[in-house]
Amino acid sequence: MSRDAIVAAAQESIQRGSKSFRAASRLFDPVTRERAWLLYAWCRHCDDVADGQVSGFGIGQHAPGNVAGLREQTERAVAGLPVEGTAFEGLKLLLSECPIPSRFLDDHLQGFELDAAGWQPDSEADLITYCYHVAGAVGCMMAVLMGVDPDDQPTLRSAADLGIAFQLSNIARDVREDWAAGRCYLPRQWLEQAGVTQESLFDPDNVTALTAFVGRLVDEVERREERARAGVARLPFRSRLAVLAALRIYGAIGRRVRALGASAWDQRVTVGKGRKLAFVVPSVAEALVRR
């Protein structure tokens, strides 16, 4: 496939799978934007295959065998060998253009392996480790394709913090959807301390505890956002702008869930196009200051 064809397939993937990431990616310079699409397409494909979903939608089943296949194709892409599917063609293309360390690819795949094993965090530290695998590692890869040196540990830590914040917002939003699929990313220790079981999480008597759990998640989102801002200054202007806009968009999801309380899961919380556009103005101002 030609580069244009692979990039077009990646763009189609992000159009189907993530309105928020697509909106933020428009703020990148053209080269970085296309590389972000390529990375997204690989991540989206891996997530869909591991979860048995389509573009992140539907309630599927985790399958360990599927993750093994993803790892095999990813390793072939890293080695520059022939691969199957446009997502892996895109990954191979991306790796030929950007020095993304393979350890981040491996870290990300470990997150899918945890899901496939039916894993649930025991502690808040376990939860943060999981969020690093499924999103923090992606933040590190995004930083590298924006031009961050793969050995720049302080900036990569900030990038990981932002990815973790994004994932915590997603967990807060998707608590009921995950629960319906038999999954729970709330730490067992939280549930035990509140006298709640996974099965009874959405019982009327547990509304107060559930909203408290979500409050704790979003409090951590905000702490991670502030830590992430420390690394934004080291990015080029267009990348600073895109990252700050994404920070505001994803953060708004978590804060909206917290504000809605018990009604947060009556329908999927989203950020409308108008609010996304409104986030650009303060992001421009902050991008000019953080340099």
pLDDT digits 0-9 by tens, 185-220: 999 999 999 999 999 999 999 999 999 999 999 999
Read off the CATH number of the domain in which 67 is found. 1.10.600.10
Q: Between 181 and 164, whose confidence is greater? A: 164
Mean pLDDT along residues 111-129: 94
Asked whether the predicted pLDDT for residue 58 surpasses 70, the reply is no
Number of domains making up the chain? 1
Please say if the pLDDT value at position 59 is more than 70.
no
Query: What pLDDT, on the 0 to 100 scale, is given for residue 62?
Result: 52
What single-letter DSSP state applies at residue 54? B
The CA distance from 217 to 200, in Å, is 19
- The mean per-residue pLDDT over the stretch 52-57 comes to 56
Tell whether the model's pLDDT for residue 233 goes beyond 80.
yes
- Residue 55: its pLDDT value, please? 47
pLDDT at residue 61 in the model:
56
Average of per-residue pLDDT across 45-64: 66
Band (22; pLDDT cuts 50, 70, 90): confident
Point out the least confidently predicted range of 45-59, 84-98, 213-227: 45-59
Select from 17, 243, 15 the least CA-distant residue to 146.
243
- Give the DSSP H/E element, type plus range, for residue 264: none
Least confident span in 61-70, 90-99, 111-120, 182-191: 61-70
CA distances from 199 to 130, 195, 207 (A): 22, 12, 13
Nearest to 142 by CA among 128, 162, 127, 167: 162
276 versus 104: the higher-pLDDT residue is 104
What number of residues does the chain have?
291
CA neighbor of 199 nearest in space, from 175, 179, 173? 179
The Cα 228–Cα 157 span in angstroms is 8
- Beta-carbon neighbour count of residue 76 at 10 Å? 16
Per the structure, the complete domain to which residue 118 belongs is given by 3-289
Mean pLDDT in the chain? Answer: 92
Higher pLDDT, 21 or 125: 125
Give me the residues paired with residue 57 across strands.
54
Res. 227: pLDDT tops 50: yes
pLDDT at 116: 86
Is the per-residue pLDDT at 56 higher than 50?
no
